[in-house]
Amino acid sequence: MHPRPAGTAHPAAALHRTVEPTLVDVAVVGAGQAGLSAAYHLRRRGFEPDPGAAASLVTLDADDAPGGAWRHRWPSLKMATVNGIHELPGFAVPPADPATPARDVLPAYFAAYEERFDLRVRRPVRVAAVRRVDDDPRGRLRVQTDAGTWDARYVINATGTWRRPFWPVYPGAESFGGRQLHVHDYVSADEFAGRRVVVVGAGISAVQLLEEISHVADTFWTTRREITWEAAEFDTAARVAAIAGVEERVRRGLPPGSVISVTGQHWTPWARAAQRRGVLVRHPMFRAIEPGGVRMPDGAFEPADVILWATGFRADIGHLAPLGLRTAAGGIRVADGRSTDEPRLFLIGYGPSQSTVGANRAGRDAVRQIMAAREPAAAG
Ligand X SMILES: Cc1cc2nc3c(=O)[nH]c(=O)nc-3n(C[C@H](O)[C@H](O)[C@H](O)COP(=O)(O)OP(=O)(O)OC[C@H]3O[C@@H](n4cnc5c(N)ncnc54)[C@H](O)[C@@H]3O)c2cc1C
Positions touching ligand X (CB under 6 A) are: 29-35, 60-63, 68-69, 73, 82-85, 126-127, 158-160, 162-163, 205, 313, 316, 319, 349, 354-356, 359
CB of 220 to ligand X, least distance (A): 22
* Residues facing residue 307 across a β-bridge: 180, 198
Half-sphere exposure of 309 (CA within 13 A, CB side): 17
Minimum distance between the CB of residue 160 and ligand X, rounded to whole angstroms?
2
Long-range contacts of 104-110 (CB under 8 A, 24+ apart): 105/79, 106/67, 106/68, 106/70, 107/65, 107/66, 107/67, 107/70, 107/71, 108/67, 110/31, 110/32, 110/36, 110/66, 110/67, 110/68, 110/70
User: Closest residue to ligand X, Cβ-based?
Assistant: 32
Q: Nearest distance from residue 203's CB to ligand X, in Å?
A: 9
Instruction: Between 100 and 292, name the residue whose CB sits nearer to ligand X.
Output: 100
Question: What are φ and ψ of residue 133, in 5° steps?
Answer: -70, -40
- Alpha-carbon torsion angle 40, 317, 172, 310, nearest 10: -20
Does residue 40 sit in helix, strand or coil? helix
Smallest distance, Å, CB 38 to ligand X? 9
* CB nearer to ligand X: pick between 306 and 359: 359
Please list the helix, strand and coil fractions of the chain in percent, rounded to the nearest 5, in that order. Answer: 30, 20, 45
Distance, CA of 306 to CA of 212 (rounded, Å)? 15
CA distance 268 to 275: 11
Residue 62 sits at the vertex; the CA angle it makes with 56 and 68, to the nearest 5 degrees, is 95
Nearer to ligand X, 159 or 214 (CB): 159
CB closer to ligand X out of 257 and 292:
257
Beta bridge partners of 265: 229
Nearest approach in angstroms of CB 8 to ligand X is 34
Question: Smallest gap, in angstroms, from Cβ of residue 69 to ligand X?
Answer: 3
Task: Compute the least distance from the CB of residue 54 to ligand X, in Å.
Answer: 26
Q: Which is nearer to ligand X, 126 or 132 (CB)?
A: 126
Q: Which is nearer to ligand X, 35 or 352 (CB)?
A: 35
Nearer to ligand X, 34 or 294 (CB): 34
**Shortest distance in whole angstroms from residue 61 CB to ligand X:** 5
C-alpha torsion angle, residues 30, 36, 41, 47 (rounded to 10): 60
Task: Specify the residue, 172 or 264, whose C-beta has the smaller distance to ligand X.
Answer: 264
Residues with Cβ within 8 Å of 42's Cβ and at least 6 positions away in sequence, in order, are: 26, 28, 57, 367, 370
Q: How far is the CB of 33 from ligand X (least distance, A)?
A: 4
Q: Is 52 helix (H, G, I), strand (E, B) or coil?
A: coil
Calculate the alpha carbon distances from 229 to 62, 234, 244, 271, 284 in Å.
38, 11, 21, 10, 16
* Residue among 145 and 222 whose Cβ is closer to ligand X: 145
Is the CB of residue 363 less than 8 Å from the CB of residue 369? no
